[in-house]
Amino acid sequence: MKKYITTLLILMLTITAYGQRGPRFFMKGPQELPSELVEELQFDDTETKKVNKAFMKFQEDVMTMMMLAKEEGEVDREEMKKESDKLKLKHLEKTKGLLDDQKYEQYKAFVLMEMREQQQYILELKLRLTPDQKEKYDAITASSKATFTQLREQFEGDREGMREAMQKVQKQQMMMLSSVLTEEQMTIYKESMQQRRGRRQ
């Protein structure tokens, strides 16, 4: 009983701390899978319920690991990534028997993505791009990504200069996307970007 209470307290503290200023993926505590992903992978109700339960437990495990690491002192990001990757594999082992082979492989690919890749993937599902839009969208985002990388190298140590340069690139990217996406899609895109910026604060 004492062990249960201790674990519960750690989890509550973890959700509170990381919900306020921790990793962006866990801003509001454990979350269910995005509905767009569930639809894309064609999970039925039973699969959705079981995988969601496992997915939320996985998030709790990651948050607890991060909280404990923080309590021990300075956080080693590389070490935390290794531990997080181990938890991903543990989670995938638990979900392997819940899905057929095809769905499992698709779900596995999503889980093993880096956070930004997951965010981008979900955004594209929300946008419901046509093949022609997808080709143009990928070209625009790839070009912007390459430019951002160059700017980080160019303005290393100059945060203000880099911020201003990136804002110009972002503005240009938005203009280019507006010529490819519909008004409704642009609204979805802008809302997604605003949410990401809010999570970084």
| Each residue's pLDDT tens digit, 115-134 | 889 999 999 999 999 999 99
In this prediction, residue 13 has a pLDDT band, given cuts at 50, 70 and 90, of: very low
Tens of pLDDT, residue by residue over 81-105, are 899 999 999 999 999 999 999 999 9
Residue range 28-67, pLDDT digits in tens = 678 999 999 999 999 999 999 999 999 999 999 999 988 8
Sort residue 73 into left (φ over 0), alpha (ψ -120 to 50) or beta.
left
**Exposed/middle/buried for 62, CB within 10 Å: 0-12, 13-18, 19+?**
buried
What local confidence, expressed as pLDDT, does residue 5 receive?
41
Question: Which residue, 47, 29, 30, is CA-closest to 38?
Answer: 47
User: For tokens 């993937």, what's the residue?
Assistant: 121
